[in-house]
Amino acid sequence: MVIDARLHQVKKMSSVTPNNPIPRRPDEPVFSGDGAARTGLTGWFVNWVSDWGGLVLSAVMAVGDFSLFVLRTMIWLFTRLPRKETVWPNFYQVGVSSLPVVALTGTFIGMVLAVQSYFQFRQLGLETRLGGVINMTLVRELGPVLAATMLAGRVGSAMAAELGTMRVTEQIDALSAMGANPIRYLVVPRFLACLFLIPTLTVMADFMGVAGGHFYSVDILGIDIHHYWANSKKFVSNFDLFVGLFKSIFFGSAIALISCYQGFNCKAGAEGVGRASTAAFVYSFVAILVLDLFLGIALDSLYFTMYPEGVGLL
Amino acid sequence: MMIEELLSDQESLVEVKDLTVQFGAQEVLRDISLEIPAGQTLVLLGESGCGKTVLMKSIIGLIQPTYGQVLFDSENLSLLGDRQLSHLRLRFGFVFQNAALFDSMTIGQNVAFPLRQHGRFSDEQVREMVLSRLSEVGLPDEVVFKKPAELSGGMRKRVGLARALIMNPEMIMYDEPTTGLDPIMSDVINELIIRTRRRNPVTSIVVTHDMNTARKVADRVVMLMPTARLDEGESQVVFDGSVPELDACRDRRVQQFINGEAGERLMEMRSSQLN
Residues belonging to chain A with any Cβ–Cβ distance to chain B shorter than 8 Å = 72, 166, 169-171, 173-174, 176-181, 183
| Residues of chain B contacting A170 with CB distance shorter than 8 Å | 96-98, 100
| Residues of chain B contacting A183 with CB distance shorter than 8 Å | 82
Mutation pick from B83, B85, B207 vs chain A, by most beta carbons of A within 10 Å, is B83
Cβ-defined contact of A177 to B86 (cutoff 8 Å): no
| Residues of chain B contacting A8 with CB distance shorter than 8 Å | none
Nearest to B94 among A166, A174, A183 (CB): A174
Mutation pick from B82, B88, B97 vs chain A, by most beta carbons of A within 10 Å, is B82
| Residues of chain A contacting B60 with CB distance shorter than 8 Å | 177
Side by side, the strands of the sheet bearing B67-72 are B26-37, B12-23, B67-72, B75-76
Cβ-defined contact of A173 to B102 (cutoff 8 Å): no
d(CA B207, CA A170): 16
Nearest-Cα distance to chain B for A76, in Å, is 10
| Residues of chain A contacting B113 with CB distance shorter than 8 Å | 178, 180
For A197, A206, B269, the CA distances from A92, given in Å and listed in that order, are: 10, 21, 52
Dihedrals φ, ψ of A224, to 5°? -65, 125
Mutation pick from B53, B77, B94, B274 vs chain A, by most beta carbons of A within 10 Å, is B94
Q: Which residue type sits at B95?
A: V
| Residues of chain A contacting B62 with CB distance shorter than 8 Å | 173, 176-177
Query: What integer pLDDT is reported at residue B9 of this predicted model?
Result: 52
Cβ-defined contact of B86 to A171 (cutoff 8 Å): no
d(CA B137, CA B150): 18
SS3 B75: strand
Nearest to B86 among A170, A173, A179 (CB): A179
Nearest to A174 among B61, B86, B100 (CB): B100
Side by side, the strands of the sheet bearing B237-241 are B92-95, B171-175, B203-207, B41-45, B220-224, B237-241
Dihedrals φ, ψ of B175, to 5°? -100, 105
d(CA B90, CA B202): 14
What is the number of other CB atoms lying within 10 angstroms of the CB of residue B188?
18
d(CA A267, CA B260): 31
Query: What integer pLDDT is reported at residue A178 of this predicted model?
Result: 87
- Locate the chain A residue with the closest alpha carbon to B97: A170
What is the number of other CB atoms lying within 10 angstroms of the CB of residue A90?
22
Contact indicator for A154, A194 with CB cutoff of 8 Å: no
Strands (E) across B118-256 are located at 171-175, 203-207, 220-224, 237-241
- Which region holds residue A145: left if phi is over 0, alpha if psi is between -120 and 50, else beta? alpha
Nearest to B117 among A166, A180, A183 (CB): A180
Nearest to A173 among B87, B100, B117 (CB): B100
Domain region containing B222? 2-274
Cβ-defined contact of B117 to A177 (cutoff 8 Å): no
- Locate the chain A residue with the closest alpha carbon to B59: A177
Cβ-defined contact of A178 to B117 (cutoff 8 Å): yes
Cβ-defined contact of A177 to B163 (cutoff 8 Å): no
| Residues of chain A contacting B117 with CB distance shorter than 8 Å | 178-180
Dihedrals φ, ψ of B15, to 5°? -130, 120
Query: What integer pLDDT is reported at residue A42 of this predicted model?
Result: 87
Query: What integer pLDDT is reported at residue B3 of this predicted model?
Result: 54
Nearest Cα residue to A15 out of A48, A42, A53: A48
Cβ-defined contact of B60 to A72 (cutoff 8 Å): no
d(CA A295, CA A141): 11
d(CA A278, CA A267): 13
pLDDT (tens place) for every residue of chain A, 314 residues total: 444 444 444 444 433 333 433 444 444 344 444 445 567 888 899 999 999 999 999 999 999 999 999 999 999 899 888 888 889 999 999 999 999 999 999 999 999 999 998 988 888 888 888 889 899 999 999 999 999 999 999 999 999 999 999 999 989 999 988 888 899 899 999 999 999 999 999 999 999 999 999 999 999 998 899 999 998 988 888 899 999 999 999 999 999 999 999 999 998 888 999 999 999 999 999 999 999 999 999 998 998 888 877 665 44
Alpha helices for A124-181 (secondary structure H): 130-137, 143-151, 157-168, 171-177
DSSP letter, residue A218: I
| Residues of chain B contacting A176 with CB distance shorter than 8 Å | 61-62, 86, 89
Query: What integer pLDDT is reported at residue A23 of this predicted model?
Result: 40
| Residues of chain A contacting B96 with CB distance shorter than 8 Å | 170, 173-174, 177
Residues belonging to chain B with any Cβ–Cβ distance to chain A shorter than 8 Å = 57, 60-62, 82-83, 86-87, 89-90, 92-94, 96-98, 100-103, 113-114, 117-118, 163
- Locate the chain A residue with the closest alpha carbon to B116: A180
Domain boundaries, chain A: 2-68, 84-306
Question: In this predicted complex, what is the ipTM?
Answer: 0.83
What is the number of other CB atoms lying within 10 angstroms of the CB of residue A124?
8
Nearest Cα residue to B219 out of B240, B236, B234: B240
- Give the CATH number, domain containing residue B150: 3.40.50.300
Q: What is the pLDDT of residues B101-119, one digit of tens each?
A: 998 889 999 999 888 887 7
d(CA B23, CA A268): 14
Query: What integer pLDDT is reported at residue A37 of this predicted model?
Result: 54
Cβ-defined contact of B113 to A171 (cutoff 8 Å): no
Nearest to B114 among A166, A169, A178 (CB): A178
Q: For chain B, which residues score pLDDT lower than 70?
A: 1-10, 272-275
- Locate the chain B residue with the closest alpha carbon to A174: B100
d(CA B153, CA B158): 9
d(CA A208, CA A143): 9
